[in-house]
Amino acid sequence: MEIYYNDNFFSLDIVWGVVEMKLTPRLLAVADKVPPGSRVADIGTDHAYIPVYLLMNHISSGVIATDSRPGPLQAAAETLELFRLQQLAELRLGEGLTVLRKEDDIDVIIIAGLGGDTICSILADGLEFLQKGILLILQPMTCVGKVRTWLAEKGFAITEEDIALEESNFYEVVVARWTGETALAQEKYLSLGPVLVARKHPLLKPMLEQRLEHKEAALAGAEYSNSPAAQERIAELKAEILAMREVLQCL
């Protein structure tokens, strides 16, 4: 096996004369949730690594890759050109879901590598569009619990969840589809990942242990202050720590 291309996000290997593109675990955990044959929109595509992977592996026959900034979209154009895939991917410049149209006939929307708050606001701005049953594959870099809560409140069912480990960082992937039913009351572990907990994902234990350590350090820091804001934060942290310990006991 010869590696002839490598950067931070993917490598290209030649195996028995066939070029294979290998994504990093985070991007792969996102890409492998796409059902074969889907028409995909990758929002905030940057270098278009996911679209290239989906096209090269014939998982998708057509991709719309979008970004809110011209620089990343130019990088996407260059990656697609490198792989001679520019005919199969359409690049669109613009904010969130505003660049998508009903006629695009999208089956799957990917939003990966953005903060949880940004993801929630992108989804909120395009809620009507998403109510057509489009599959959402989300990989928030922060506030994953907030994204899950937003989804549950707005009538999305979380159908699948995953964790990827990359250089001691854990990344969560949440897959959801609009059903119109709000499942908030039933989801005890919404902030931790109900599907991850139910399926005892093998990376859930190490991820929670790492997070528990951070939360306990944050709690120790917050306990120095008597302000009402600090008291609120302390109560929040204690509830989070309790939920994590509860789940850890079952893993």
Ligand X SMILES: C[S@@+](CC[C@H](N)C(=O)[O-])C[C@H]1O[C@@H](n2cnc3c(N)ncnc32)[C@H](O)[C@@H]1O
**Contacting residues toward ligand X, per CB under 6 A:** 43-46, 66-69, 72, 95-96, 112-114, 118, 122
Shortest distance (Å) from residue 69 CB to ligand X? 4
> In the complex with ligand X, which residue's Cβ is closer, 166 or 232?
166
For residues 51 and 216, give the distance between their C-alpha atoms in angstroms, rounded to a whole number: 39
For residues 140 and 158, give the distance between their C-alpha atoms in angstroms, rounded to a whole number: 14
Shortest distance (Å) from residue 174 CB to ligand X? 14
Give the DSSP per-residue string, 219-240: HHHHTT--SHHHHHHHHHHHHH
Shortest distance (Å) from residue 103 CB to ligand X? 20
Q: Give Rg (Cα) of the chain.
A: 20
> In the complex with ligand X, which residue's Cβ is closer, 68 or 159?
68
Shortest distance (Å) from residue 113 CB to ligand X? 3
> In the complex with ligand X, which residue's Cβ is closer, 141 or 195?
141
Query: How many Å separate Cα 27 from the centre of its chain?
Result: 9
Q: Nearest to residue 171, comparing CAs of 94, 125, 112, 216?
A: 112
> In the complex with ligand X, which residue's Cβ is closer, 97 or 196?
97
CB 245 within 8 A of CB 212: yes
Q: Nearest to residue 182, comparing CAs of 227, 152, 221?
A: 152
Using CA atoms in the order 131, 132, 138, 143, what is the torsion angle rounded to 10 degrees?
0
CA-to-CA separations, 4 to 13, 14, 21, 23, in angstroms, rounded:
6, 8, 11, 14
Shortest distance (Å) from residue 12 CB to ligand X? 17
> In the complex with ligand X, which residue's Cβ is closer, 138 or 222?
138
> In the complex with ligand X, which residue's Cβ is closer, 138 or 237?
138
For residues 229 and 214, give the distance between their C-alpha atoms in angstroms, rounded to a whole number: 19
Shortest distance (Å) from residue 112 CB to ligand X? 4
CB 172 within 8 A of CB 147: no
Tokens matching residue 27: 């991007």
> In the complex with ligand X, which residue's Cβ is closer, 176 or 243?
176
Shortest distance (Å) from residue 247 CB to ligand X? 27
